[in-house]
Amino acid sequence: MRDDCETGGRRRGGLRPAMRTGTPESRCTSVKVHLVRPSAGLLAAALMACLALTPSGLGAADPPGEIALTIENNRFQPEELKVKAGAPWVLVITNKDKGPEEFESHDLRIEKVIPAGKTVRLKMPALKPGSYRFVGEYHEKTAKGRIIAE
Amino acid sequence: MGATFLVTLREAFEASLLLGLVYTYLDKIGARENFRWVTLGSALGLAASVAMGVAVGFLSGPLLDLGPDLIGAGVIFLAVVLLTWHAWWMQQHARGVRGEIQQRIDQARVTQRLWIVGLIAFTGVFREGAETVLFLWGIMAQATSAAGWGSVAAGLAGIATAAALGWAIFYGGKNVSLPRFFAITTALILLLAAGLFSTGLGRLQGLGVLPMTVTLWDTSSFLSDGSVAGSFLGGLVGYRARPSLLEVAGYAAYLLGAGFLVLAGSFRPAPARAAAGEPVTPRSR
């Protein structure tokens, strides 16, 4: 099996460097597929096979944490959010007021309107350690807070 | 009340700036009959803003989480394309000696698809329109006292002030000579589009489509994004107090690329143009 794989690799030299990153099994799977019929669909299937064979538990088993933020009486609750730096997370904002509010953070490039009584879930990127300010643009005087990544 | 005034003024500023510029452009090239495209574009932009404002109230789940943001980012990049096209077009017809320029513009009126100018109006109004509608709707819903209605009035006054700025551009523009008007608006539109482009990139970073990059500088203590001057400069030339590397790189790349595209023609006059007369280009001087 391994030999098949090496042969395939030699014939299609361009593919070899990419294949080296996989396990011997995954290398074989993908190369064989290419040898049979190198169509786009099969290529994708081969890629999927490679992905499936990579050590699991890197992303799937560790869903990003959710952090809740509530808007009430034109204020954020809590006004300071602490998150782990370097890991993606999800910000769940619930607007309990009777009017819409816009969650705005220039630091994070987010402008998001949350209609009255609604909840939105914002996928947040992994942040570098630091402080990121945000405001409720419609009530900037009272609605403000910051996210501390550490 | 003052805060309400500033929010709507800020949101409507960019739209009124663009509307002022495109109305003046049409007036200058003697294509007033095409005002209707701009008016139609603005009206559709307003209708789309109201529709979007109403729609988000009914959306929920992933549609609410992502839908408005994707539309918002799409509108930003569409506006960049349209503005670049417009700046390019203006430059094509701005390079002529006195007298000849009018002839070129007559030609432009025949060949240019002026309804595209209406699309610029649409994107200009729609970009911040939905937010403004929601904002006004919100303060109206909460207006139970006299002070509440004062806020509503202040919000409307903010939009009216922005509109007055647009009119000021229109009337001020009338007294500017045509070549100068074209030169100023081309520069203004390119800066505005560069700012929009970097805003769009930033928005995609915020959405996680593009990776986060380092913050290049921090001038927020000196001129913050939220301040009046900061937000006007933001709308006008894309000022950011804490820009990311990608935003700055995108801004520079856009200015270089679009600047080259728009001005390139100036340096190599086409045969037809050379035959028609001495074009005013740096080389021919």
B279 is a domain residue: no
Is A113's CB within 8 Å of B225's CB? no
A60 is a domain residue: no
Domain count of the fold of chain B: 1
Nearest to B141 among A98, A120, A141 (CB): A98
Tokens, residue A42: 């099969």
Residues B85, A92: Cα–Cα separation, whole Å: 40
Burial zone of B222 (CB within 10 Å; 0-12 exposed, 13-18 middle, 19+ buried): exposed
Verdict on whether the full-model pTM lies above 0.90:
no
pLDDT digits (tens, 9 = 90+) for B183-233: 888 889 999 999 999 999 998 988 888 888 888 888 878 888 777 788 888
pLDDT digits (tens, 9 = 90+) for A27-46: 444 444 444 444 555 555 55
Same domain? A145 vs A94: yes
A27 is a domain residue: yes
Tokens, residue B98: 């006195």
Ordered DSSP codes for B190-255: HHHHHHHHHHHHHHHHHTTSS----B----TTTS-TTSHHHHHHHHHH---SS-BHHHHHHHHHHH
B128 is a domain residue: yes
A101 is a domain residue: yes
pLDDT of res. B95: 63
B278 is a domain residue: no
Q: Is A85 an interface residue toward B (CB < 8 Å)?
A: no
Nearest to B134 among A98, A100, A126 (CB): A100
Instruction: Enumerate the residues of chain A whose CB falls inside 8 A of the CB of residue B241.
Output: 106
Same domain? A14 vs A72: no
Same domain? A49 vs A76: no
Residues B262, B88: Cα–Cα separation, whole Å: 5
Residues B249, A87: Cα–Cα separation, whole Å: 25
Residues A116, B66: Cα–Cα separation, whole Å: 17
Same domain? A81 vs A129: yes
Phi and psi dihedrals of A29, rounded to 5? -55, -50
Is A138's CB within 8 Å of B7's CB? yes
Same domain? A49 vs A86: no
Same domain? A85 vs A12: no
Beta strands in A1-150 (DSSP E): 65-72, 75-77, 80-83, 89-95, 101-105, 110-114, 119-124, 130-136, 144-149
Is B138's CB within 8 Å of A116's CB? yes
Q: Is A59 an interface residue toward B (CB < 8 Å)?
A: no
A123 is a domain residue: yes
Burial zone of B251 (CB within 10 Å; 0-12 exposed, 13-18 middle, 19+ buried): buried
Q: What is the 3-state secondary structure (H, E, C) of B42-99?
A: HHHHHHHHHHHHHHHHHCCCHHHHHHHHHHHHHHHHHHHHHHHHHHHHHHHHHCCCCC
Phi and psi dihedrals of A82, rounded to 5? -110, 125
Residue ranges of chain B whose CB lies within 8 Å of a chain A CB: 3, 7, 56-57, 60, 64-65, 68-69, 72, 130-131, 134-135, 137-139, 141-142, 202-203, 205-208, 211-212, 214, 225-226, 240-242, 244
- Domain with residue A95: its CATH number is 2.60.40.420
pLDDT digits (tens, 9 = 90+) for B14-47: 899 889 988 988 888 877 888 888 999 999 999 9
B157 is a domain residue: yes
Same domain? A91 vs A35: no
Q: Which residue of A has its CA nearest to B58?
A: A115
Same domain? A71 vs A139: yes
pLDDT digits (tens, 9 = 90+) for B66-102: 888 888 899 999 999 999 988 888 877 666 555 566 6
Identify the three-state secondary structure at position A134: strand
Residues B51, B35: Cα–Cα separation, whole Å: 24
Q: Is A117 an interface residue toward B (CB < 8 Å)?
A: no
Domain count of the fold of chain A: 2
Tell me the nearest-neighbour CA distance from A89 into chain B, angstroms.
11
Same domain? A42 vs A94: no
Same domain? A49 vs A74: no
Q: Which residue of B has its CA nearest to A132?
A: B242
Tell me the nearest-neighbour CA distance from A125 into chain B, angstroms.
6
Residues B97, B285: Cα–Cα separation, whole Å: 12
Residues A146, B201: Cα–Cα separation, whole Å: 23
Q: What is the rounded average pLDDT of the residues B232-256?
A: 89
More confident residue, B99 or B106: B106
Same domain? A45 vs A77: no
Domain that holds residue A133: 65-149
Q: For residue B136, which of B161, B162, B155 has the smallest C-alpha distance?
A: B155
More confident residue, B22 or A5: B22
Between A5-14, A97-106, B110-119, B235-244, the lowest mean confidence (pLDDT) is in A5-14
Residue A62 banded pLDDT, cuts 50, 70, 90: low
Asked casually if ipTM beats, i.e. exceeds, 0.85, the reply is: no
Domain that holds residue B199: 2-271
Same domain? A75 vs A134: yes
Is A106's CB within 8 Å of B135's CB? no
B280 is a domain residue: no
